[in-house]
Structure 1
Amino acid sequence: MAHTPNQNLQGIASWNVAPHESSWTADKAVDGNTNQTYLPTCAIAAFNINVYKSVWWKVWLTRKFNIAYLEIYLRSGTTSRATGFSLYTYEDVSYNPPFGDTGSLVYRHDPMSGCPVSIYNITVNKLAQGIAFFNERPDGFTSSCLSVDILKTTIDICEVRVMGCDQNRYHFGCTDACSDKCKNRHCDAFNGSCIYGCFDPNAVSLDCIVCDNGTYALNGRCVQCGHCKHDTPCDKGTGRCLSGCEENWTGDLCKECVDGFYDKDCSRKCGNCLEGVCDKTNGTCMSGCSANWQKPLCQKCIDGFYDQNCSTKCGECQSEFCDKENGSCLNGCKTNWKEPLCQECIDGFYDQNCSTMCGECREGFCDKKNGNCLNGCKTNWKEPLCQECANGLYDESCNLQCGNCIQGICDKKKGTCTKGCLQDWQGPMCNVYTTRESRTGEEFSKTSLVVISVISTLLGVILLSALTIVIYLKRTRCLQQNAREHSNTDHLSSKDTEEKYDELTGGKEDHHYTSINSTNRESVYQEIHTYGNSEFNEVI
């Protein structure tokens, strides 16, 4: 269009500033030349001569076009001067940006995003005849572009290319015509949809299709409305339920279950999910179950628990499982537990395992926790458990009375008096009476036995001592006899020795050996021998 001069579509370009050079005028921005460095082909305002706080440039095309996009070529090296610029389309030749009802903002550069680039491709997709460029430096203007002049601005545009089709055509190359269904046959410049409305007032959507009540347009066809309240129809263009949703449904289209419900009709309540929310299609608790509920739906108790909250443990069932609603043990109870719940002992048993029998209760049953007989004991049994005889009685049936025991207490099974008997009574059960005479004789007999025992012990000690002495003397006598025999042998030996020494030494030599083997040894043996005889004779 405007970028092809031989089509004569450029129209008239104008601005509100003076050119830097007389030939660098506003129309140079639509001459078809995109050179960004050769200034005679650009629209360049006098930046260094005048201080411009607000500038605009615009072009009024020869007719209205279905504009797809714009290509903007700024002067190279001075793009910071365009910081914060805006682009508009307009419908009135007298329009001056940015004011006026006929102007429509297409793009604005954010001054805090840095300096502008030198080439822009900006989507428009709009029916328009005029294109406008605008920039200003209001008080307090700031920017992240470091080289920008925050006090003044200007226009440095080398080319503006307006890309589009005639107002009744669309697509790249403008190959397709807008549909007759579109209002005034105006359509989207890229896909041909009826973005400006439909020829038929009953038609809806960008495809301009007509839908019956209870349906709406979606992707070129009519589909069923969601679950609108009281079955009212939905908006045919958007599908929204204007009167709200039916119970358990939510969303703009009322096609989604509210939290806590699932299934195709949102009629099923989520199980006991940990976070209260389940998959709205299949009911799976994605975050897991609350305590004692079974995955994945969390709608049944895990084995071993029952009731509506799955908070009660099954009783002592034979199979450890019970009915998950009422707790009944389906296969019966363990021994001594009461059906159907198996949570208490049968009559006659108690404790936490129901393994202990009640005592001799008056009515045959007891408290099933502690075993106390609530209505008292049978005769002769001791409360509260009634499991042993009352004091003074014994036997398995507690029908026998204790003997004459001290404190009247006896073993409650055997009847023996554990603390002894009262005076004049004896025997394990203290039921044998004794007179004083019999007790004296008994005491005498006991004393005699003690004396005899002592005397016997002393006699035993004396006899043992005498026997020890005799053994000792006999051993001593044997030793002395052996000593005498040895003495005689030594005496003979000494004589032989004397003779041998005399022969060796001759008559002239006086050896010391002669005096050692004579008198001293003989006198010692004589003395021992004499003592030994007198000592033995005295003992024997």
Structure 2
Amino acid sequence: MFFLLLSHTAVLLRVTAQHNLTPFGTAKQSSTYRSGIPQNAINPPVSNAFSLDICTHTDIGSIKPAWWMFQFSFGIAYITDITIYYRVNFAHRMDGFKLYVTNSSTIPPDGYLCYEDPNPGLPNTTITIPCYQIGQYIIYYDTTGDDLSQNGPLVELCYVAINGCQKGFWGSNCEKVCSKYCIERNCYPGNGSCVWGCNTENCLNDICSILTGVCTAGCKERRTGDHCNEYNIASDGLVSQYPSGNQPASFANDGNKRSCSKIKGTNVTFQVDLKKESIVTGVYITFGENTTKVGSHTLYTSNTSNFLKNGTILYDDQIVPTRVNFSAVFRYLTYVMYVSPVHGYFSELEVCEIGILGCPPTYYGPVCNKSCPRNCHGPCDLETGNCIFGCLNGWTGDNCKQACNDGFYGNNCLQKCSPFCLHQPCDHGTGKCLDGCIRGLQGFNCTQVSVHTAESDNEVTTRIGMFSGGVLLGILITVVVCLVIRKKRQLRKKQTNGNTIKKKQSHDQQHYDDVRMENVSTYQDLRRDIGSSEYDQINTSYVNH
């Protein structure tokens, strides 16, 4: 028992090493005799020894075709070969059988016929059949039957090993992934080469290697990489070389790996101008076979053509760079090769194709087929499309789709709108007053005194002044007239009063005169009576006193 288990384990290890796929599926058959179920053919032991418990067995005497079918649980597989262990000493019962690889469970099978037992002679009970086909079902099919016993067609399979790999994988244990540039990602389990050829969609002249899927001749417009699956922003760039060579620099970005720019010298320079600052993630360079391998090889990035003054070194080594990965933002990429001149030795540079991985500043995505948000400030992230360099004035958020709140504008919406707006908020980007300014101010943010309004105000002020002056003059004239009238009235009154007084005074004077005359007369009469002598005496007495 221990020996049997050990032998079974050894066989399973050997089968596993041959990519046996029967553990990854189920089996069924046209009919079942006693315990000869279809699963017996995919379970150990691996031998021709027969019993109903370890081999399959269909009904005896059936006039219908007999068949056994296996279906992969994971879908489609690439089948390299199938080994059948039939019931020992019963080869006559498998005479004339057929083996199919199909994508359906249709009976009779309508897929690929891997093998049909020929006549004359009997097949071996242990037989390995090469197939090299893709399918989901393996069908053992027999219509001939047992000619010796005339029991009709029978199926008595003791073990079946189906070798290959699940579609899309290859290797000794199917651990490697087929190139996605193989058509439908189907490749041979043994070497990974494309079963149906490679995808030439972006390959120059539709040429690719069936073994690797690599576009051997080059890439179509704006594509780069081994499989031409990446966007090449160098395609639209301006290329230059120093010193000038016998082949133009433009050969290096025409997509054709077989046309190369060629220059010689102790210090040679090749430069690509992307025209605008762009996000770049790597560089492919295909060199011609005559390129000098020794010497110093340096890659510079810069935003001006003067890379020595303003450049940043991306790569500096003694080995020719064919692929350099990095992440940078720049406009100019410069490749410099320097070889110390010894005995008149010059370096030779052949650049057959240069691929710069990235996108134009307003695009992103695997092949730059998506537009960046329109409010991004500068290029957006190549994978997510987020505005990694911020937003244009008036917008916020990762995708710069959120406008500033009312009352704010500018970079990151940090500036406040002018308090001299009318009914509308200011422009989110510039701060311009959308509905105009309050009276007397002008400018995009209403901070300047309006010339027209000032002139208008001066005119109004003048008119108001003239009106006010006129009113004041009228009032003054009215006052003067009133005063004159009043004065005249007062003069009239005064004259009237004067006449009255004058009349009274005249009356009084007359009265006074009358009285005075009377008094004088009386006085005179008195004086006559007294006499002058008496008067003189009184007067003298007073003086002496």
Sort the TM-score into its range (normalised by shorter chain).
0.3 to 0.5
Provide TM-score, normalisation by structure 1.
0.33
- Structure with greater proportional strand content: 2
Provide TM-score, normalisation by structure 2.
0.33
